[in-house]
Structure 1
């Protein structure tokens, strides 16, 4: 009896680990897609009239954006660059903004590592279930876990939508151990380029893509289980 309880506990922990790793892999991949999608930035700049706010042309904004993307990927050493602003070459970001972007870069690098580790963990645990349990059990665990994640994403999306400002502030308090993220919209170009509306749209796209990814996973797994001609639920 005790052995069975221990086995069930271990299986439950492994199922939880498998689904958490899959959730992280999908969310962080969706984040990477948005963060390095030039078209998304261009649409947001035009939507929020960033050109008028910053005094920069769309081409100049996109040039800085590409440098920023390369910086976050650790392919540029610094963001301390100049740009044509209101007709003259000026320093793009001040020291406070540069320090904050260093923190953001570190967070992105941690995100890349977490995403890669999550993919490996998911594959290892799923493979374990395939051989230690059965083909059917492995996909049954994945199906039920995916349904739970879809419900979780919907609940989280509703919570964030109802009060995005508080969620956004809470996010920064959790992931940053300083107040460098508290910038001045009147003087700091970083927040002029990326107002709150930018992040609202970015979070929406990230969770929308993740949601539909899990819908696809659900459909594929359900179809595989149906082909086994065994009860799905």
Structure 2
């Protein structure tokens, strides 16, 4: 009975750590994907709304990327807006972005811990179970995660506005995220449609990653002619 409880605990740990590793890695990929930003700026007419050309927008974006990755100390920068150099973000926006940076750094830390946890559990199973049993655990964990991801993605996409609000209420203990589209350039650069596309891209890439993992594990088990289930 005790062994069964321990086994269930470690399998659950494998599922959670694998899920977080893939999801947060794909989040990082989106954060540094310059092509994605360019496409979104064009799609949402950000140049017209902000009064900035695409080159200047991408320069500010690059600084923001480095800031979120912990490679820049401040986001308080000047930019060419409507033909003149102006302060890009106001104090409220900068305070919110500091919160966002802290959230990102925590996310990357959790991702790194998740990688370690997954490798430790995988190694534990290799020493305590047969290799094929470990692959079976991984296969079933991946299938479970894919189903969970699809259900979660469907729920988010069906009512994104509500989910977006709940997300901010849960992860931020202030109202700095409530910005004015008429004056705050942060929300002008990143309207709600931008975040919808971000979430969709993360889910899509994460799901594809799990499909690849599933295919590799299934292929190995098939080649060894061992029963998959």
Counterpart pick for 1:158 among 130, 142, 154 = 154
Where does residue 228 of structure 2 map in the other structure? Answer: 232
Query: Take 2:9 and 2:162, find their aligned partners in 1: how far apart are those partners?
Result: 32
Where does residue 19 of structure 1 map in the other structure? Answer: 15
Gaps of 5+ in 2: none
SS of residue matched to 1:182: coil
Where does residue 196 of structure 1 map in the other structure? Answer: 192
Query: Take 1:176 and 1:115, find their aligned partners in 2: how far apart are those partners?
Result: 20
Q: Give the C-alpha shift of residue 185 in structure 1.
A: 0.7
1:123-142 deviation line (CA, Å, top 9, x unaligned): 11011101111101111001
Q: Give the C-alpha shift of residue 227 in structure 1.
A: 2.3
| Residues 37-52 of structure 1 aligned to structure 2 (within 5 Å) | 37-52=33-48
The number of aligned residues is 229
Is 1:57 aligned to residue 57 of structure 2?
Answer: no
CA-based RMSD of the aligned residues comes to: 0.7
Give the structure-1-normalised TM-score.
Answer: 0.97
SS of residue matched to 1:89: strand
Q: Give the C-alpha shift of residue 87 in structure 1.
A: 0.7
1:19-66 deviation line (CA, Å, top 9, x unaligned): 100110000000000011111101100000000000111111000000
| Residues 10-159 of structure 1 aligned to structure 2 (within 5 Å) | 10-159=6-155
Gaps of 5+ in 1: none
Query: Take 1:76 and 1:50, find their aligned partners in 2: how far apart are those partners?
Result: 24
Q: Flag as ranges the 4+ runs of structure 1 deviating above 6 A.
A: none
